[in-house]
Amino acid sequence: MTSKSKQSRETRFWEWFQANEDRLFNFEREQEKVFGELMRELHRVHKSLTFEFSSVQENKRQFVISADGHREAFPAVIKLGDAAPDLPRWQFIKFRPRRSDSCTVGIGNVMISSDEVEFTLEPEARKVSITLFLGDAKYFDERIFGHIAFLLLDHTLGEYDVETFIGRVDFKPREAMSTLEKRPLQDLPAFFDRFVQSLRN
C-alpha cells in the first residue's frame, strides 16, 4: 500500500477530487466554499493552476485545468490532466479550449463583445504577431483593454495555442488604422491555423 507521503501530487489531487466528486459536480449548493477548497488543492500541484467548470449537459460537466497564461505551469497542466481518472460524469480538459461562440468580456465598467473586435496577423520569427482592435479611442485604457484582449484570445484560439504560437500581442482602439487588412475576430481561428502551418513549412 502506498503511503500518502510517497504519492505524487497528481495522485493526491485526484483522490481528493473523487472523494468530493458529488460536491464538485453540484458546486452551486456551496460555490464559494467548494471553489476555495478546489483552488487550494490545485495550488498544491502548482501555484499557477486554475480551473473552469462547464454547465451540466446530459448529466456531464467539463472540468478545464488551466495554467492561467503562465507558460511555466504547462507541464503541470499536462501531467495532472494525463493522470485524471475515468469518471462517467466528467470530461477532463487540459488548457482552456477554443470556443466558437461569441462572448462578452467585462472589466469594471468596460464591456467588449467579441463581435466588435478586429485583428491583423503578421509573421514574427517562427511565431505569429497579432494586433487586436477593440474599444473606443476616447476611453482607451491600455491596462484594461490589454487584459480584455488576452481573455478574448484565449476564448477564440485556446490557451495552448496562444502561449505556444503567438509572439507579440498589440491592442489598439477599434478605429485605429492599419497597413494590414483588418478582419473580424470570428475569422481568427481559420487564418491563424493557416498562418501557423505556413510557418512550419
Confidence of residue 4 (pLDDT cuts 50, 70, 90): low
Amino acid at 104: T
Angle CA 24–73–86, to nearest 5: 40
Q: What is the DSSP string of 107-119?
A: ETTEEEEGGG-EE
Tell me: the pLDDT tens digits for 92-101?
999 999 998 8
Q: In what order do the strands lie in the sheet with 127-133?
A: 166-172, 127-133, 118-124, 183-184
pTM above 0.85, yes or no: no
Alpha-carbon gap, residue 166 to 85, rounded angstroms: 32
How many residues are present in the chain?
201
pLDDT of residue 119: 97
25 pLDDT higher than 60: yes
**Structural domain boundaries of the chain?**
4-94, 104-200
81 pLDDT higher than 80: yes
Tell me: the pLDDT tens digits for 32-59?
999 999 999 999 999 999 999 999 999 9
Confidence of residue 124 (pLDDT cuts 50, 70, 90): confident
1 pLDDT higher than 50: no
Cα dihedral 72, 75, 76, 77 in deg (nearest 10): 100
Confidence of residue 5 (pLDDT cuts 50, 70, 90): low
- Stretch 135-154: mean pLDDT, rounded? 86
Alpha-carbon gap, residue 178 to 171, rounded angstroms: 12
6 pLDDT higher than 80: no
